[in-house]
Amino acid sequence: MIFLMNYWKMKTNKLNMADQRKLISLLITMLKNGFCLYDCTLIFKASAYEFERKVGGVLEKEINNGNGLAAVLQYFGYSQKIILQVKFAQTHGNLLSTLKSIDESLVKLEKEKEKFISIITYPCLLLLFLVGILITMRSFLLPELQKRLGYEKNAGLLLMEYGPLVVIFVLLIGISWCLLFKRQLLKKSSLEKAEIFAKLPFIGEFYILQITSYLSREWGRFFEQGMELNNILTVMQSLEKSSLMKDLAKKLENGLQQGISFALQIQQFNFVMEEFSMMIRQAELNFSLGTELIRYGDNCAERLFKKIEEKMQWLQPIVFLFVGGMIVLVYVSMLLPMYQNIGGIAK
């Protein structure tokens, strides 16, 4: 298994988030100390570490082909938005500050990913524990009870017998519904999909916060590089794959050509927070749109995780009570006939 994972990693050349951060940090250190990209190539190739030698080889190849750092990042599987930021920075000569901004964003993403995993791990373990109990009881305990004691079927024994099947059936129904929903979404544009997700019960409030945080941060980083809105929208439309950012940029550009302001257009979308357009207006007045957008995006991310934690605090006691109630029901169903038999013998 490890061999296959390593082979796949070598085959795709895509770096995980930790290695992406590592490469960006190495480049920042080199450029900060006055080295150019060609110097970085020589230093990396002479390194004792395989990772740095590999980076050095790719960097040398791309430089010899007349390409820059953006081509190297594309080779290692960085997102299109990061590649576009680096391309713009190479054109305008602010590569170091752009790499620092990218490094900060990767750090935030890594921390948020770890936090999200830590939040959902415990409820998932509880559910797995519940399913494991039901399957174990049905496979080992139930046949022994029916064989040796001749128990008549009651609520607890029926739960042991059919509980796992019910859980599997519910999972299959959920997966089937998700596949049908996904198939329907394929016919929709990215903007239509975003509007649909924003209206979904329970999920919608989380989706709106996540999209607002995402858009705010991405736009903020481009504004921090000194780009104007028209340039940002042009860059976003040059993304290779169709995405919400690409379709949204096209719609915003059409609106600007009709004389509709950026903030006013944002107000028309239901998949972002209502206060987003107001925040943009305020930031434009203070001439700090890039900084304010990034700060607001971070704030939305914090609110998102806080909201998830609040929902989990409600979910965990419910799961506990459900698991406890199931166990008590099963034990009562097993012990009650035994007491009845003991009472009959005593008489």
The confidence band for 101, taking pLDDT boundaries of 50, 70 and 90, is: confident
The confidence band for 4, taking pLDDT boundaries of 50, 70 and 90, is: very low
Per the prediction, the chain carries an average pLDDT of 78
Residue 146 pLDDT greater than 70, yes or no: no
Residues 73 and 83: beta-carbon distance below 8 Å = yes
Among the ranges given (80-84, 218-222, 313-317), the one the predictor scored with the smallest mean pLDDT: 313-317
The confidence band for 344, taking pLDDT boundaries of 50, 70 and 90, is: very low
**What's the whole-number mean pLDDT along residues 264-286?**
86
The confidence band for 346, taking pLDDT boundaries of 50, 70 and 90, is: very low
Among the ranges given (36-50, 80-94, 262-276), the one the predictor scored with the smallest mean pLDDT: 80-94
pLDDT, tens only, 156-210:
566 666 766 777 788 889 889 888 888 888 888 888 888 888 988 888 888 999 8
The Cα angle at residue 277 between residues 304 and 241, in degrees rounded to 5: 70
Residue 240 pLDDT greater than 80, yes or no: no
pLDDT at residue 282, rounded to an integer: 83
**What's the whole-number mean pLDDT along residues 233-256?**
83
Chain centroid to Cα 35, Å, comes to 35
**Tokens at residue 169, please?**
């059936």
pLDDT, tens only, 289-329:
888 888 898 898 888 888 888 877 777 777 777 767 767 76
Rg (CA), the chain: 28
pLDDT at residue 212, rounded to an integer: 92
Residue 250 pLDDT greater than 60, yes or no: yes
**Secondary structure, 3-state, the chain:** CHHHHHHHHHHHCCCCHHHHHHHHHHHHHHHHCCCCHHHHHHHHHCCCCHHHHHHHHHHHHHHHCCCCHHHHHHHCCCCHHHHHHHHHHHHHCCHHHHHHHHHHHHHHHHHHHHHHHHHHHHHHHHHHHHHHHHHHHHHHHHHHHHHHHCCCCCHHHHHHHHHHHHHHHHHHHHHHHHHHHHHHHCCCCHHHHHHHHHHCCCHHHHHHHHHHHHHHHHHHHHHHCCCCHHHHHHHHHCCCCCCHHHHHHHHHHHHHHCCCCHHHHHCCCCCCCCCHHHHHHHHHHHCCHHHHHHHHHHHHHHHHHHHHHHHHHHHHHHHHHHHHHHHHHHHHHHHHHHHHHHHHHHC
pLDDT at residue 42, rounded to an integer: 84
Looking at per-residue pLDDT, the higher value among 314 and 220 belongs to: 220
**What's the whole-number mean pLDDT along residues 221-227?**
80
Looking at per-residue pLDDT, the higher value among 69 and 339 belongs to: 69
pLDDT at residue 10, rounded to an integer: 42
**Amino acid of residue 114:** E
Looking at per-residue pLDDT, the higher value among 10 and 125 belongs to: 125
pLDDT at residue 1, rounded to an integer: 41
Residue 2 pLDDT greater than 50, yes or no: no
